[in-house]
Chains A and B, each alone.
Chain A
């Protein structure tokens, strides 16, 4: 029978013995970590950015620049992919031992395709934010209209009740 004891909790709890009486006697929680940190022996970073293809050692097939025409690049990469698959089939028929280069080319195209699609995500995030803000503005305008209408109705009712009371 294997009995594995859990590791004990960190001993900081003793510092908080008098927390209820005096909240200032115990240390404050640490500020959040910025930059890189080590977790279970692995390095992680808090800066979430998509690493560029060069950093991963992959050749970039589509042109860089400030504004990339995503549709055009995606379509041309798709055509390239189809051509390369056809080339692979040809090579397997005629010179089967030279498949490795063609397979590498095809995987390069796939890596470029996925990197392009991933780089569209920030654009999508901003577009979602714009959509949410527009919805919120619409809801607030609707609420303002509703309140105005109700106030006018209430005023009207009060005037009517006033005239009814004055008649009697």
Chain B
């Protein structure tokens, strides 16, 4: 895939990681005490297992997010953009077209000369073979 499409894919994956992270955190967070007036929230059914899984998730997900962001930076560094902008590119295209035309005409001339020589050789060959046939005595 070309570099710009890769960059676009990377942006989309950063977006997906971001909303997955925030969404999972929000969905799975255990209830917390809001104010001194309300009592402590009741303990959940499997406290130790859930809290263990739950405290691992933000670390893993944020690590993935940071890794994706670093990869984006690496891709940006790999962009083959040369300075000079649009005008420099258009000028280069015009130069290359001129050179292409010149080389094309060169090629055309060589081709014509080669075809002429080919005709000549074919003519000579047919004359030589006619001469051979006429000189050869039947056995």
| A interface residues (Cβ-Cβ under 8 A, vs B) | 66-67, 70-71, 74-75, 78, 81-82, 85, 88-89, 92, 106, 110, 113-114, 117, 120-124, 126-127, 129-130, 133-134, 136-137, 140-141, 143-144, 147-148, 150-151, 154-155, 158
Cross-chain contact of B15 among A110, A148, A155 (Cβ < 8 A)? A110
Chain B interface residue count: which class?
35 or more
> Considering the complex, which residues of chain B in the window 76-125 have a beta carbon less than 8 Å from any beta carbon of chain A?
76-77, 79-81, 83, 85-86, 89-90, 92-93, 96-97, 99-100, 103-104, 106-107, 110-111, 113-114, 117, 121
What are the 7 tightest A-B residue pairs by CB atom distance, in nearest-first order?
A133-B96, A126-B89, A67-B85, A140-B103, A147-B110, A74-B76, A144-B107
The 0/1 profile, CB within 8 Å of A marked 1, for residues 10-27 of chain B is 010011001001100110
Q: Are B121 and A127 closer than 8 Å at their CB atoms?
A: no
**B73 interface residue, CB < 8 Å from A?**
yes
Q: Are A137 and B103 closer than 8 Å at their CB atoms?
A: yes
Cross-chain contact of A117 among B11, B77, B81 (Cβ < 8 A)? B11
> Considering the complex, which residues of chain B in the window 1-50 have a beta carbon less than 8 Å from any beta carbon of chain A?
2, 4, 7-8, 11, 14-15, 18, 21-22, 25-26
| B interface residues (Cβ-Cβ under 8 A, vs A) | 2, 4, 7-8, 11, 14-15, 18, 21-22, 25-26, 65-66, 69, 72-73, 76-77, 79-81, 83, 85-86, 89-90, 92-93, 96-97, 99-100, 103-104, 106-107, 110-111, 113-114, 117, 121
Q: Are B26 and A92 closer than 8 Å at their CB atoms?
A: yes
Q: Are B117 and A151 closer than 8 Å at their CB atoms?
A: yes
A126 and B93 contact, Cβ closer than 8 Å, known pairs A82-B69, A88-B22: yes
User: Roughly how many angstroms separate A136 CA and B80 CA in the complex, as a whole number?
Assistant: 21
A158 and B8 contact, Cβ closer than 8 Å, known pairs A71-B77, A106-B18, A151-B114: no
User: Roughly how many angstroms separate A143 CA and B104 CA in the complex, as a whole number?
Assistant: 10
Contacts of B69 in A (CB 8 A): 78, 81-82
A143 and B107 contact, Cβ closer than 8 Å, known pairs A123-B86, A130-B92: yes
Contacts of A134 in B (CB 8 A): 96
User: Roughly how many angstroms separate A148 CA and B65 CA in the complex, as a whole number?
Assistant: 60
Q: Are B79 and A136 closer than 8 Å at their CB atoms?
A: no
Cross-chain contact of B114 among A89, A140, A147 (Cβ < 8 A)? A147
Q: Are A144 and B4 closer than 8 Å at their CB atoms?
A: no
Contacts of A130 in B (CB 8 A): 89, 92-93, 96
Contacts of B121 in A (CB 8 A): 154, 158
Contacts of B72 in A (CB 8 A): 74, 78
